[in-house]
Amino acid sequence: MSAADATILLVDDHSVVREGYRSVLQKQPGLRVVAEAADGAEAYRLFKSEAPDLVIMDLSMPGIGGIEAIRRIRQWDKGARILVFTMHQNAGFAVQAIRAGARGYVTKMSPPETLVRAVMDVLAGKIAISPDIDHELALSRISGESSAADVLTPREFEVLRLLLAEQTTEEIAETLHVSPKTVANLHSLIKDKLGVDSDIELVRLALRQGILTQVDLGEA
Amino acid sequence: MSAADATILLVDDHSVVREGYRSVLQKQPGLRVVAEAADGAEAYRLFKSEAPDLVIMDLSMPGIGGIEAIRRIRQWDKGARILVFTMHQNAGFAVQAIRAGARGYVTKMSPPETLVRAVMDVLAGKIAISPDIDHELALSRISGESSAADVLTPREFEVLRLLLAEQTTEEIAETLHVSPKTVANLHSLIKDKLGVDSDIELVRLALRQGILTQVDLGEA
DNA sequence: CGAGTGCCGGGAAAATTTCACGACGTTGCA
DNA sequence: TGCAACGTCGTGAAATTTTCCCGGCACTCG
């Protein structure tokens, strides 16, 4: 391990998946995994203490999600390089992640080479998008339908995600360290922006746009 | 690799995740990964040609899902040993998987040791359930998420269906020729009976129980 | 018959949703 | 450089909805 090795922080709530990253990245010279986190809050903490050259981050995690973690890290260090590596093959998520400050977006469907390539690109200062997401983005541009990701600010999108995942307004307020009133206001604003009247329509729209997938229903 | 090695088929649609399995399992003597599949159909095909001692299978995959793949494999070979390894920390999925013929259920949240232990247990003929799912199953038996069709009266069930499909309380009231007040009362009663606090949870529960199917979301 | 249950809705309190408004920091652009 | 636009956070008050408690009606079953 030379001093010139690029240091990496892995963020994913599944330990075996992190093991997979490691295995793939270890084969690549010049890279060194220096820390691992299982959720957004831990990622933020470790970023501050370890100051890695690159963060590889999943999006769907317990507590504060990947988008919010990206926001916080970028707020702490404007130059932070974050590569999103997620199962969500969805243009909306990609748009939100990039807006929040991510420098790359690769799906877990991609072959390992794509991940390695993206890591190298981001470290070299480029923006890296995996081909399937490029395709999704192209499609969403053609169909021209305004997705939730287009009209919502990052903060609103994060609240939407938590609304779909967490239970109560109070819990979300605590997670985001804001007043319950603010969450309620955002909840209302989100429905307004998306043109739905009820929470039921909101969930249906989220399902159609892939913001909430069937796999997310797991946490009973 | 001795002839006595237990042969394993890995099934997961994310290649990097398969890499993670491999990395963890390689450290364990007596195990040998002989094939990998990225979806249910390929898993079935490979099982027939490779006849592995054990299948480690994810549930959420494109095309035919894990549950259906388990069913087909067990139909082909009644003695097939299949260990489910998935992100779904959900008692309902576990029950479904076991019923379909799986011999074990471990979540991806689990530490690698738990997976290894489960692999050994299943190979030894035992049933392996990870602790978190044990806990979920216990919970579901105690406070049990009552199935909607079970606790709801026909009228309530009808209102639930319309709530998921129609938009407003007023429209439902008109459809059923009752006062909006009654619909609102029933709406509240339904949530109470199903043990959910918000409409969002209500929709999620309906999705889990198949009352609302994801394919049926087309009509806005 | 009487007890239990499903179904319907009124009234009022409680909670939430919505709207209007202001403050603050950042971004971007002229 | 200044200033307009925007995102974020929050308050207060009105409007609406949700929830709880209530009674009435019809039907079934032992």
Residue A106 lies inside a defined structural domain of this protein:
yes
Torsion of CA A87, A90, A95, A100, to 10 degrees: -30
A118 plus A192 within the same structural domain? no
- Report which listed range, A106-115, A195-204, B192-201, is most confident: A106-115
Q: Is the pLDDT of residue A208 over 60?
A: yes
**pLDDT, tens digit, for every residue of B54-85?**
999 998 776 556 777 888 888 788 888 999 99
Residue A61 lies inside a defined structural domain of this protein:
yes
- The model's confidence at residue A107, banded by pLDDT at 50, 70 and 90, is very high
3-state secondary structure of A35: strand
Closest CA relative to residue A47, chosen from A101, A106, A117, A92: A101
Closest CA relative to residue B200, chosen from A91, A196, A87: A196
A48 plus A119 within the same structural domain? yes
- The model's confidence at residue B159, banded by pLDDT at 50, 70 and 90, is confident
Contact A55, A83 (CB under 8 A): yes
pLDDT for A220: 37
Mean per-residue pLDDT for A37-49? 89
Q: Is the pLDDT of residue B214 over 60?
A: no
Residue A80 lies inside a defined structural domain of this protein:
yes
| Strand D positions closer than 7 A to protein CB | 6-12, 17-21
Which of A112, A141, A170 represents a domain boundary (last residue)? A141
Question: Of A5-19, A90-104, B4-18, which range is least confident?
Answer: A90-104
Mean per-residue pLDDT for A117-129? 90
- The model's confidence at residue A149, banded by pLDDT at 50, 70 and 90, is low
pLDDT for B220: 29
Q: Which residue has the tokens 């364990």?
A: B28
Encoding tokens for residue A173? 């307020």
Domain count, chain B: 2
- What is chain B's mean pLDDT, rounded? 80
Mean per-residue pLDDT for A100-104? 87
Q: Is the pLDDT of residue B215 over 60?
A: no
Residue A197 lies inside a defined structural domain of this protein:
yes
Amino acid at A187: H
A213, closest residue in chain B (CA to CA): B214
Residue B1 lies inside a defined structural domain of this protein:
no
Task: Give the phi and the psi of residue B129 in degrees, each rounded to 5.
Answer: -125, 130
Is A220–B203 a contact, with Cβ atoms under 8 angstroms apart?
no
Q: Which residues of B touch A164 (CB under 8 A)?
A: 200
**Which of A20, A109, A111 faces B20 most closely, judged by CB atoms?**
A20
B96 plus B173 within the same structural domain? no
Residue B73 lies inside a defined structural domain of this protein:
yes
A170 plus A136 within the same structural domain? no
Mean per-residue pLDDT for A193-203? 86
Residue B27 lies inside a defined structural domain of this protein:
yes
B161 plus B121 within the same structural domain? no
A67 plus A114 within the same structural domain? yes
**pLDDT, tens digit, for every residue of B30-62?**
899 999 998 888 888 899 888 999 999 998 776
Mean per-residue pLDDT for B154-161? 79
B128 plus B157 within the same structural domain? no
Identify residues of A whose CB sits under 8 angstroms from chain B CBs: 13-24, 85, 87, 108-112, 115, 163-164, 167-168, 197-204, 207-208, 214-215, 217-220
pLDDT for A34: 92
Mean per-residue pLDDT for B3-10? 84
Residue A1 lies inside a defined structural domain of this protein:
no
Q: How far apart are CA A41 and CA A57, in angstroms?
A: 12
Give percent of chain B with pLDDT exceeding 70. Answer: 85
Encoding tokens for residue B64? 């035919």
B49 plus B80 within the same structural domain? yes
Q: Which residues of A touch B88 (CB under 8 A)?
A: 215, 218
pLDDT for A142: 54
Other C-beta atoms closer than 10 Å to the C-beta of B40 total 26
Give percent of chain B with pLDDT exceeding 90. Answer: 17
B15 plus B54 within the same structural domain? yes
Which of A95, A115, A141 represents a domain boundary (last residue)? A141
Which of B142, B172, B202 represents a domain boundary (last residue)? B142
Q: How far apart are CA B148 and CA B192, in angstroms?
A: 11
Strands across the sheet with A82-86, in order? A31-37, A6-11, A54-57, A82-86, A104-107, A128-129
Instruction: Give the gap in angstroms from C-alpha A219 to the nearest C-alpha of chain B.
Output: 6
Mean per-residue pLDDT for B126-148? 69
A118 plus A159 within the same structural domain? no
Question: What CATH number should be reported for the domain holding residue B20?
Answer: 3.40.50.2300
- The model's confidence at residue A194, banded by pLDDT at 50, 70 and 90, is confident
Query: Is the four-CA dihedral A146, A148, A153, A154 of positive or negative sign?
Result: negative
Q: How far apart are CA B204 and CA B206, in angstroms?
A: 5
Other C-beta atoms closer than 10 Å to the C-beta of A137 total 17
pLDDT for B205: 83
Which residue range(s) make up the domain with A181? Answer: 148-218
A62 plus A121 within the same structural domain? yes
Is the model more confident about A3 or about B89? B89
Mean per-residue pLDDT for A179-183? 87
3-state secondary structure of B187: helix
pLDDT for A26: 87
Chain B contact probe: residue of A16, A19, A58, A164 with most B CBs at under 10 A? A16
pLDDT for A120: 93
A25, closest residue in chain B (CA to CA): B16
- What is chain A's mean pLDDT, rounded? 83
Question: What CATH number should be reported for the domain holding residue B196?
Answer: 1.10.10.10
B21 plus B112 within the same structural domain? yes
CA geometry: angle at B108 spanning A216 and A211, to 5°?
Answer: 20
